Amino acid sequence: MAESRHSLFRQFAPGDWHGFLKGVEKEGLRVDRNGFIAQTPHPEALGSALTHPRITTDYSEALLELITPVFDSTGGMLTSLRDIHTFVQQNLGDEVFWPASMPCELDGDPSIPIANYGRSNIGRLKHVYRQGLAVRYGRMMQSIAGAHYNLSLPDSFWQKWQALVGNGQTLKDFKSDQYFWLIRNFRRRSWLLMLLFGASPALDASFVAGVKHDLSRFSDNTWVGANATSLRMGDLGYHNNAQASLNICFNELSTYTQTLDRAIHTTWPAYEAIGTRRGDDFIQINTSVLQIENEYYSAVRPKRTTEREEKPIQALDARGVEYIEVRCLDLDPFSPVGVNEAQIDFLDLFLLDCLLSDSPRIGDAECERLDDNYKDVVARGRDQTLTLCRAGERVAVGEAARGILDQLAPLAELLDSWQGGDTYATALAVQQGKLSGQEPVPSARVLDAMAASGLGHREWGLEMARQHQQALRAEDLGADLEAAFHAMARESIAEQARMEAADTLPFDGFLAQYLRS
């Protein structure tokens, strides 16, 4: 019988293990003093959203996205994320940074300004793509925020791991195959993350104005999912009908990029009816099922850093998978930076175990079952009677969750023994406490906090935003770091100006060239 991958991993010497490489992208809305989505332009003090390496915008001009560099420690990454937040908070004027995944008060699509990236062709392409999202899906669901966690393992790990498993591929192809091995198990287990970290059980009534739903009334301006963990990831959050027709394959890199590429080059009748222009203005990049790869929403993505004007699937095909992006994380509204230390350390443990556990290819039948598990936990994960499908049997959600956490304990012990301390045992114990009742899961904690305060989602979110802002504005970045942030902002504005000056091709010609590439 072949030696298990966990047994092979134990053959690493402590000196062979160099840990994880990690980074985070954290979104959040700028909100005015009354709790309404900001109508102001991206603050000039924060630089150019097109070219700034740390501070950009996502869909909306009001939806900030803060990006850390890559770190080899959770502490370093969280310090960087906090520093970026502190600089942002110090430059928001009388606005605040919304702490929750589900948005503040809105007033329909017109209240959500689409992000502006200037006059360069690349900037205009980003804006037209967002216009396309608006005409396809509406703007409301694009106002939702989350945290994306990026993880990779260093080449020193992959070289040792390849020798242990006896693989003869190129290192590029081996890494890609192994990252997809991890992704397959992530898809089998991602429901657990929604139970442990889902933190959006409530939403503002303005988000569902005129929309049919089955939520329960919490207050005059708040609706809740009775047992929901994440309304962000449910039917009212990220979804669309055209993508339901896709069968994106996560079994290997070649089929993943091929099925994505086909979606980008397959027209969709409803989008053809809209067309690409309204008068002289472009309103979507094309009429395909997907305008670009990033339009496809999934809980996890294989990623490769792109060169300027390079498409994601081109980068993946050319240089292979570089890291994994976990995209299903709700913001932690109790944290000033939207994520927390025990969560990050647990994700490292969880993702490593996805790599080390057996991971057969996912067929159509299993794909449907694992999607059902995920949707069920999102919609009613706090329902103690909920059962999930595990190995062909129905198992109570709590039992299934405890089974995975118990499986992680030996790995946590091993990693702690290699690097000293109890980092992973502690992170695991925090999650086990949520299942044992020592503390509520985040979605229950949010509802408990709202009930205790007597506030609806709008008022509670605004109060938490003010608390976080007060705490971060009281912190001192230090003269050197503050100067570095200001310099980064100035340079990003200058870089955008250089890009705009360098463009000679009219936008319609640039777009035609982009679509041919």
* pLDDT bracket for residue 364 (50, 70, 90): confident
DSSP letter at 461 equals H
pLDDT at 236 over 90: no
pLDDT tens by residue, 47-92: 999 999 999 999 999 999 999 999 999 999 999 999 999 999 999 9
Residue 41's alpha-carbon distances to 131, 145, 463, in angstroms, are 17, 18, 24
Q: Per-residue confidence at 237, pLDDT binned at 50, 70, 90?
A: confident
Give the amino acid at 379.
A
The rounded distance, in Å, linking the Cα atoms of 214 and 218 is 13
Report the pLDDT averaged over residues 322-332: 98
Q: What pLDDT does 247 receive?
A: 74
Residues 262, 39: Cα–Cα separation, whole Å: 37
Residue 241 has pLDDT above 80, yes or no: no
Question: Burial letters for 355-365: b for 16+ Cβ neighbours within 10 Å, e otherwise?
Answer: bbbebeebeee
Alpha carbon distance 291, 309 (integer Å): 15
Dig out the tokens for 19 from the structure: 């840990």
Distance in angstroms (rounded) separating the CA atoms of residues 387 and 380: 10
Helix, strand and coil content of the chain, in percent to the nearest 5, comes to 50, 15, 35
Is the pLDDT score of 104 beyond 70?
Answer: yes
Statement: residue 115 has pLDDT above 70: yes
- The SS3 of residue 60 is strand
Q: Where residue 22 falls among pLDDT bands split at 50, 70, 90?
A: very high
**Separation between Cα atoms, residue 441 and residue 239, nearest integer Å:** 25
Q: CA-CA distance, 300 to 387, in Å (whole number)?
A: 24
Mean pLDDT (whole number) for 235-255: 78
More confident residue, 31 or 236: 31
Mean pLDDT of the chain: 96
CA proximity to 289, closest of 310, 315, 317, 270 = 270
Axis-axis angle for helices 423-436, 397-419 (nearest 10): 160
- For position 338, what pLDDT does the model report? 98
| In the predicted structure, residue 312 carries a pLDDT above the cut 80 | yes
Q: How far is CA 49 from CA 84, 103, 276, 498, 515, in A?
A: 14, 21, 25, 14, 24
Return the ∠ at Cα 90 (arms to 37 and 32), rounded to 5°.
Answer: 15
Both tokens of 143, joined, read 């106002």
Candidates 297, 296, 274; CA nearest to 286 is: 274
Instruction: List the one residue out of 207, 203, 237 whose CA is nearest residue 108.
Output: 207
Check residue 2 and give its pLDDT: 63
Q: How confident is the model at residue 238 (pLDDT cuts 50, 70, 90)?
A: low
- Helices (H) and strands (E) in the chain — how many of each? 17, 14
- pLDDT digits over 208-217, tens only? 999 999 999 9
Residue type, 21: L
> Which single residue is written with the structure tokens 């777009």?
511
CA distance 492 to 24: 20
Check: CB of residue 93 under 8 Å from CB of residue 470. no
Handedness of CA 53, 129, 41, 200 (dihedral sign): negative
State the distance between the two ends of the chain, measured CA to CA, in whole angstroms.
48
3-class SS of residue 267 = strand
pLDDT value at residue 249: 80
Residue 391: pLDDT band (50, 70, 90) is confident
How many other C-beta atoms are found inside a 10 Å radius of the C-beta of residue 506?
10
Q: What is the mean pLDDT of residues 382-406?
A: 96
Token pair, residue 338, equals 């939207």
* Banded model confidence at residue 3, pLDDT cuts 50, 70, 90: confident
User: Mind giving me the DSSP string for 487-510?
Assistant: HHHHHHHHHHHHHHHH--S-HHHH
- What stretches of 279-431 adopt beta strand conformation (E)? 281-282, 300-303, 323-329, 387-390, 393-396
Nearest to 230, CA basis, from 151, 149, 184, 299 = 299
pLDDT in tens, 436-495: 989 999 999 999 999 999 999 999 999 999 999 999 999 999 999 999 999 999 999 999
Residue 240 reports pLDDT greater than 90 = no
With a cut of 60, say whether residue 1 has pLDDT above it: no
Report how far Cα 18 is from the mean position of its chain's Cα atoms.
Answer: 25
In this prediction, residue 293 has a pLDDT band, given cuts at 50, 70 and 90, of: very high
Token couple for 89:
């908070």
Residue 167: pLDDT band with limits 50, 70, 90: very high
φ, ψ of residue 201 in degrees (nearest 5)? -85, -5
Query: What was the pLDDT predicted at 248?
Result: 82
Q: How many whole angstroms separate alpha carbon 431 and alpha carbon 438?
A: 10
Cα–Cα distance, 452 to 201 (Å, whole number): 16
d(CA 504, CA 488): 26
